Amino acid sequence: MYNFLYKNNEMDNTVDDEKIMLEDIKPDKNLKILTGDRPTGRLHIGHYFGSLKSRVELQDKFETFIEVADVQALTDNFNNPDKVKQNVSQIVMDYLSVGLDPNKVTILLQSRIPEIAELTVFYSNLVTIARLQRNPTVKTEIAQKKELFGESVTYGFLGYPVSQAADITAFDASFVPVGEDQLPLIEQCREIVRKFNSIYGETLREPVAVMSNKPRIKGLDGNEKMGKSLGNALYLSDDIETIKTKVMGAVTDPARIKKDDPGNPDICMVYYYHKLFSDENTCKNVCEECKKGQRGCVACKKQLIENINNTLGPIREKRHYYEERPKEVMDILMSGTEHAREIAKKTMEKVKKSMKLDY
């Protein structure tokens, strides 16, 4: 069944219980990959190192689709449609600014593909409520959203894995590059596909989750998670002054009071960020000089700021270009969506035929 999957250049048919890494898949422009984001905020460097950078590589290796999942964003932001709407163009600008090229990738808007909603309805017969309640990703998220949902979660939120299965299958995706937290959603999608095919006949492709070995980036305050609500993130859209202020406030080794106190770079977020943005030599110097008490924290931060700007500067410039051209941004999104919809329509035709709904 997975004859499109290669590992170490050998066919591999036993993918079920092992992790497939992005690096293991042989590039093939005939294979589709789909990823997506909920447009609920601007993207930060955690997204950049975690997924955006690898998407930029993927666009040359596969037929790549990136979904702006505005309908899914509404499942936990139904009371805040303005937020979702504003972030649609923001996220597309983030994509374009890091080098996703609209001539290579298809960027699409979920709400403009009604076939996804239609598939969601059909698939909902193939999933039990108990199974959705057991989904670890959904479970964790519900626990985090007590304030929004109170004691009882909405039907829409509980069911978003079904809608995500529709996202993936609508475009006939072979691979879904995701972070570890999304694996249960892909597993649920695979179950739906198997059930569909066993009842209605071979129709849908069973997608495979692929992981990248990128670590999750910690926040400037040392928190394991970087996020808007935590105030510890560097955004792709941050200007130079904002970056300066944020880095100057980063958590360093608290035991260092005087410049010649020996420090421990391993507990310092500035060193942690040097490892992301500075070259190997610089990192080595930071580490050695810090340990010997030969490096001031202010100078160390200033050097980091410069190196962050070397990476984010070109991204910021590209983003400015698009910020001044909102129509161009929406045109890119809409033409991507149009292309994607053609594929979704074909899937719908097949699905309706299999389900005997082809009137």
Q: List the one residue from 43, 56, 59, 67 that touches ligand TRP (CB under 6 A).
A: 67
Token pair in block for residue 304? 């980091």
Nearer to ligand SF4, 258 or 356 (CB): 258
Residues 140-159 that bind ligand SF4 (CB under 6 A): none
Name the minimum Å distance from CB 67 to ligand TRP.
Answer: 5
297 part of the interface to ligand SF4, by CB under 6 A: yes
38 part of the interface to ligand TRP, by CB under 6 A: yes
Nearer to ligand SF4, 20 or 290 (CB): 290
SS (H, E, C) 160-198: HHHHHHHHHHHCCCCEEECCHHHHHHHHHHHHHHHHHHH
Nearer to ligand TRP, 73 or 332 (CB): 73
Q: Which amino acid is at 122?
A: F
220 part of the interface to ligand SF4, by CB under 6 A: no
210 part of the interface to ligand SF4, by CB under 6 A: no
Q: Which of ligand TRP, ligand SF4, none does residue 271 bind (CB under 5 to 8 Å by kind)?
A: ligand SF4
35 part of the interface to ligand TRP, by CB under 6 A: yes
Q: How far apart are CA 108 and CA 85, in angstroms?
A: 14
Q: How far apart are CA 173 and CA 38, in angstroms?
A: 19
165 part of the interface to ligand TRP, by CB under 6 A: no
CB-based contacts of 357: which residues, under 8 Å, 6+ apart? none
| DSSP 8-state secondary structure symbol assigned to residue 267 | G
Nearer to ligand SF4, 166 or 268 (CB): 268
47 part of the interface to ligand TRP, by CB under 6 A: no
Alpha carbon distances (Å) from 78 to 70, 81, 82, 326: 10, 6, 10, 25
Q: Which of 251, 243, 247, 249 is nearest to 315 (CA)?
A: 243
Token pair in block for residue 17? 């219980």
Q: Which of ligand SF4, ligand TRP, none does residue 166 bind (CB under 5 to 8 Å by kind)?
A: none
Q: What are phi and psi of 223, to 5 degrees?
A: -65, 140
Interacting residue ranges for ligand SF4, rule: CB under 6 A: 252-253, 256, 263, 265, 268, 270-271, 286, 290, 295, 297, 300-301
Interacting residue ranges for ligand TRP, rule: CB under 6 A: 34-38, 67, 69, 72, 164, 167-168, 176, 178, 182
